[in-house]
């Protein structure tokens, strides 16, 4: 089976700082890849490069999604192509209700994928059903987007967006940060419910605990802009015990 996401020798910089220095990663449909690594190793940079944020400049290498050049696309085109980034710190947008945002996003993505837009009634049915599955109350849909939401509510809202937009590739950027154990479980279950043979996940995290809920097929260690170790889910447990120092030192010995 060929790769859905194929990253080859990726180099990227932010301003004058080179962050990614020859990263390669191949993700097949249905797989879950965890990327772990110490602070400053380039984890968040990878998520922003894949989703097309400004000021993240690719200097070398290639990224394809289902064979298409991802790096040539604008952030919205990437969303249409199936990329979804769950933010570490979801933005608060005053004056825009969650419902309006979700509807605008869903219809924009459907339009981008050549599908028809949903009418108000169908949308409402769909969003209510998905929100209920995540234990979200109706008032969270009526409130302004993420304004006054707790950390857990924001992350649940991210999973709701993921459920609605049905991405090919979901990137979870430290989704566990700021979550208590209960919220972590709800988010983990929400993500698990979305696992399918057609959908892949790249789960970026500091800690092993998120991977108790979202079981990865592969675990990669990212350090100094490169993947220096790849293993099974056991590698995450190993890292939890020993820390990253051994691996980082070995890689640069």
User: Of the candidates 54, 119, 139, 182, which one interacts with other proteins according to CB under 8 A?
Assistant: 54
- Does 93 interact with other proteins (rule: CB under 8 A)? yes
- Per rule CB under 8 A, count of chain residues that contact other proteins: 30
Tell me the closest approach of the beta carbon of residue 76 to other proteins, in angstroms: 5
Tell me the closest approach of the beta carbon of residue 101 to other proteins, in angstroms: 7
Tell me the closest approach of the beta carbon of residue 90 to other proteins, in angstroms: 7
Tell me the closest approach of the beta carbon of residue 60 to other proteins, in angstroms: 23
Residue appearing with tokens 């057609």 = 198
Question: Which residue, 177 or 238, has its beta carbon nearer to other proteins?
Answer: 177
DSSP state of 83: E
Question: Which residue, 94 or 148, has its beta carbon nearer to other proteins?
Answer: 94
Angle at the Cα of 48 (from 42 to 49), degrees rounded to 5?
A: 85
What does the alpha-carbon distance between residue 101 and residue 250 come to, in Å, rounded to a whole number?
47
| Percentages of the chain per state (helix, strand, coil), in multiples of 5 | 40, 30, 30
Stretch binding other proteins (CB under 8 A), from 51-59, 125-133, 199-207, 239-247: 51-59
Q: Which residues contact 190 (CB under 8 A, 6 or more apart)?
A: 133, 134, 156, 159, 160, 162, 163
Question: Which residue, 69 or 246, has its beta carbon nearer to other proteins?
Answer: 69
Residue 73, both tokens:
């696309």
What does the alpha-carbon distance between residue 235 and residue 167 come to, in Å, rounded to a whole number?
27
Letters for 61-80 (x = contact with other proteins by CB under 8 A, - = none) are: -------------xxx-xxx
- Does 104 interact with other proteins (rule: CB under 8 A)? yes
What does the alpha-carbon distance between residue 166 and residue 168 come to, in Å, rounded to a whole number?
7
Tell me the closest approach of the beta carbon of residue 54 to other proteins, in angstroms: 7
CA-to-CA dists, residue 82 to 11, 60, 96, angstroms: 23, 23, 24
Task: Give residues in contact with other proteins (CB under 8 A).
Answer: 51-54, 74-76, 78-80, 83-85, 87, 90-91, 93-96, 100-101, 104-105, 108-109, 112, 144, 161, 165
């Amino acid at each position: 089976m060929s790769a859905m996401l194929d990253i080859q020798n990726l180099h990227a910089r932010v301003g004058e700082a080179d962050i990614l220095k020859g990263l390669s990663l191949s993700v097949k449909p249905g797989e879950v890849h965890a990327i772990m690594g110490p602070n400053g190793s380039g984890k968040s940079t990878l998520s922003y490069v894949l989703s097309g944020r400004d000021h993240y400049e690719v200097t070398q290498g290639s990224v394809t999604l289902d064979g298409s050049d991802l790096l040539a696309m604008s952030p919205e085109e990437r969303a249409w192509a199936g990329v979804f980034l769950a933010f570490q710190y979801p933005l608060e947008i005053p004056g825009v209700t969650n419902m309006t945002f979700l509807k605008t996003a869903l219809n924009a993505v459907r339009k981008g994928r050549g599908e028809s837009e949903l009418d108000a009634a169908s949308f409402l049915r769909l969003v209510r059903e998905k929100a209920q599955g995540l234990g979200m109350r109706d008032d969270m849909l009526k409130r302004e987007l993420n304004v006054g939401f707790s950390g857990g509510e924001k992350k649940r809202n991210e999973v709701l967006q993921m459920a609605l937009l049905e991405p090919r590739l979901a990137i979870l950027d430290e989704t566990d940060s700021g979550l208590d154990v209960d919220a972590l479980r709800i988010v983990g279950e929400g993500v698990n419910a979305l696992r399918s043979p057609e959908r892949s996940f790249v789960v970026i995290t500091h800690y092993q605990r998120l991977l108790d809920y979202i079981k990865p097929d592969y675990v990669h260690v990212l350090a100094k802009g490169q993947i220096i170790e790849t293993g099974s889910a056991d590698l995450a447990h190993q890292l939890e015990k020993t820390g990253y120092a051994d691996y980082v030192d070995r890689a640069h010995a």
